Structure 1
Amino acid sequence: MPMVMKPMYRFEKMDGLGNDFMLLDADCQDKTCTLPPTAQAIRRWSDRRRGIGFDQLIYLYKQQDTQYYQFFNADGSPAEQCGNGQRAIALYLKNKQLAMPITIEGAGGPVQLNHQDDDHITVSFTQTYQYEKKQLSLLGMPVTAYLVDVGNPHCIILSADVEGEALAEKAALISAYFDSGINVEMMQIISDHHVRVRVYERGAGETLACGSGAAAVAIVLRHYFKGQQDIKVSMPGGDLQVLLSAECDKISLIGPARSVYQGQIYD
């Protein structure tokens, strides 16, 4: 019996502040490849012992002259938006010699990307976002949850010491309040222009950084605690600069991205 060859996918491993990604470009794949990849394949590839290992998979494809993006969590579920992933996309497209700035489209809406250098990559998006306060019970104690949707949903909880938080335990309890789950951020306010944050991403677990989470906490600082429009968000993976318009309807994230390596992997 002739041997059946599995499809081979070409990918690029990338990261932004330690938030790491597997990027698949449809233009680089053979016709035998299933695109976008199946949830089963994504889960297998995301395994850090038996696969590539990543927080999210980025899938790029074109329709006519427009570049589109899709994000998938490590568990194979779709993700609407990812600010760190958008910076990785900007670096990838810049390395392909595409002119900057460039606007790309996807589930989180249109996003403008610009590349000054690998440490100063800007992601800008304009949208009507939703925010509200909600009272929750957490480990038997009442807490105020600040809910913000910036293309994907976030729940921000204030903390006096984010490093000492039992983040995974609390994130599981918080997520149970929401039918589709939610991204959870613990935020420690340092000043009116600086916060420290830890993030537990829906479908991925705790990550070193989250761009959309940084945008969400900056909006909370601005709306509820008289924060500035230029805010430094410090996460375990590093610092991200968040610029907000006066009404917070235009958001820019400025930070680094890196290409780690290129490779091929079987389905």
Structure 2
Amino acid sequence: MRVAFSKMHGLGNDFVVLDAREEALPAMTSAVARALADRREGIGCDQLIVLEPSVSADFRMRIFNHDGGEVEACGNASRAVALLHGSPARVETSGGTIGVEPSEDGASVDMGTPRFDWDAIPLAYPLDTASMPVGWDGLETPGAVNVGNPHVIFFVEDADAVALEEIGPTIEHDPLFPQRVNVNVATIVDRTHIRLRVWERGVGLTRACGTGACATAVHAMRRGLVEREARVTLPGGDLRIEWNEDNRIRMTGPATESYRGTFEWDHFA
């Protein structure tokens, strides 16, 4: 079976998008997703995105990380999907329904409401998610936010100086996080600007993470460190994050289609 795909990215966080909204595909499995995401023997991507029909929204978006694990949300992929769809839409995800709206140079996404309760992150046991009394190799007292998927956030003097490629896997797999966790290290530049690096669960170091930008900005806003609208600078570029009075998060930033192609499904099944 020959299958069409679109290769897209948001600030260098790249995706293979399969559109099964009108014509069904064989069942996606972790093994197939992992094979397609492989950068040497597959197409290569951080996340594989599958678009499907939905009974509760305009369509459904499923998200598979580079390691084949299915996850709840991906902010950068949401902008890419908005660009591909070409008009405003409500999109069902495992983390909840989001709203997407394409623009001239990308998209704006209503990412929903943040969750702060310890069991919504989830954590293995109750902790104050605004300032958790835990630490790993000098990274201490983080916050935790669920924005469709779980994030832990550390504010540091210099985010670039943290050996995130070394400590990230340890924190991701710590028993405190029963569903693993995305690890964010951030530096507050001023009241409207944050610098951020992210170790993404199931992916590793990434040039950009939309949900990480949302979680980090909201945690900084919750702590009173930045205004309710801020620019988040990641290695791949900038995102604009707003935490509105209705408690909903809006993320705005670029998205790009790189190319389109086809592959033989049986080669990866």
TM-score by length of 2: 0.88
Q: Deviations over 1:81-101 (max 9, x none)?
A: 11100000000001xxxxx32
Name stretches of at least 5 consecutive residues in structure 1 with no aligned partner. Answer: 1-6, 95-99
Q: Deviations over 1:22-53 (max 9, x none)?
A: 00111465x6x413x21111111111111111
CA change 1:113–1:38 in 2 (3 A) is: same
Secondary structure, counterpart of 1:81 in structure 2 = coil
- Partner AA of 1:51 in structure 2: G
User: Which residue among 80, 96, 100 is the counterpart of 1:109?
Assistant: 96
Report if the CA contact (8 A) 2:6-2:259 is conserved: yes
Report if the CA contact (8 A) 2:83-2:106 is conserved: no
Residue 121 of structure 1 corresponds to: 107
Residue 169 of structure 1 corresponds to: 166
Report if the CA contact (8 A) 2:153-2:183 is conserved: yes
Query: How far did 1:243 drift?
Result: 1.1
Secondary structure, counterpart of 1:76 in structure 2 = coil
Q: Deviations over 1:212-249 (max 9, x none)?
A: 100001111101134211100000000000111136x2
- Partner AA of 2:39 in structure 1: R
For residues 41-56 of structure 1, what are the structure 2 equivalents within 5 Å?
41-56=32-47
CA distance in 1, matches of 2:106, 2:99: 14
Residue 18 of structure 1 corresponds to: 12
Residue 73 of structure 1 corresponds to: 65
- Partner AA of 1:145 in structure 2: P
Secondary structure, counterpart of 1:54 in structure 2 = coil
Residue 136 of structure 2 corresponds to: 138
Q: Deviations over 1:165-189 (max 9, x none)?
A: 1002211222213222100000011
The structure number with the bigger radius of gyration is 1
Residue 125 of structure 2 corresponds to: none
Report if the CA contact (8 A) 1:199-1:209 is conserved: yes
Q: Deviations over 1:120-143 (max 9, x none)?
A: 41001333522612122312x471
CA distance in 2, matches of 1:11, 1:150: 28
Residue 154 of structure 2 corresponds to: 157
Report if the CA contact (8 A) 2:114-2:249 is conserved: no
TM-score by length of 1: 0.88
- Partner AA of 2:67 in structure 1: D
CA change 1:163–1:114 in 2 (3 A) is: same
Q: Which runs of 4+ in 1 moved over 2 A?
A: 63-66, 125-128
Secondary structure, counterpart of 2:217 in structure 1 = helix
CA distance in 1, matches of 2:264, 2:109: 32
CA change 1:191–1:261 in 2 (3 A) is: same
Secondary structure, counterpart of 1:91 in structure 2 = helix
Residue 205 of structure 1 corresponds to: 204
User: Which residue among 227, 241, 260 is the counterpart of 2:258?
Assistant: 260
Identify the structure with the greater strand proportion.
1
Secondary structure, counterpart of 2:31 in structure 1 = helix
CA change 1:23–1:120 in 2 (3 A) is: closer
